[in-house]
Amino acid sequence: MTGWISDRRRPIPDHLRMMLGHLDGQEKFTYVIWRAPNPESIIVTPQDGGDGFMQAAGSADQMTVEVRLPAPDGETHLYTVGRPEPADGTTLIPISQTRAVRVFSNEVFTADEAAVIFYTYYLTDAVAQPYVLRELDLSQELSEER
């Protein structure tokens, strides 16, 4: 489902938490937000948006958060969001029925934690401290079979 995020039915933070909470890692794997240009449009598609977005994949208990942001070189880059603490191994996060991504332990979030990151992005188009970004190499295969 696509459309505008609105506080008409519930506060934005609650809406983001609810949507992220629907991820189950079995049938519902991903949630993405992006800034679209026309608030009058009822239906919004990814083609309506700009270059930046934030997405989550996995389940409400274990998800990864990625963000595409402009860099000083004028290009956009895709990053995985993480905590600044050292990683203690990796975790496999499902992104579809057949594929998963491997992320470091400090890059795994619950829906509650991810909702805070999403709300900050919703307000600022940025990822705030204390979170860190690890750039993803899009020339490499980033997922593996489940």
Instruction: Give how far Cα 77 sits from Cα of 35, 74, 110, 122, Å.
Output: 16, 10, 24, 18
Q: Which pLDDT score is estimated for 44? A: 64
The percentage of the chain sitting over the pLDDT mark of 70, rounded to a whole number, equals 88
Q: Which pLDDT score is estimated for 1? A: 44
- Strand order of the β-sheet with 144-145 is 90-94, 99-104, 144-145
The tokens for 89 are: 């191994």
Q: Does pTM top 0.75 for this prediction? A: yes
**In the block, which residue shows the tokens 């700009």?**
50
φ/ψ of residue 144, rounded to 5: -140, 165
For 144, which DSSP code? E
**What is the DSSP code string of 24-86?**
BSSS--EEEE---S-TT-S---GGGS-S-EEEEEEBSSSEEEEEEEE-TTSSEEEEEEE-SSP
Taking Cα atoms as reference points, which of 93, 106, 115, 97 lies closest to residue 134?
A: 106
How confident is the model over 103-124, as a mean pLDDT?
Answer: 97
* Residue 101 C-alpha from the chain's centroid: 13
Residue 74 has pLDDT above 90, yes or no: no
Confirm if 146 and 98 have CB atoms less than 8 A apart: yes
**In the block, which residue shows the tokens 């994949």?**
57
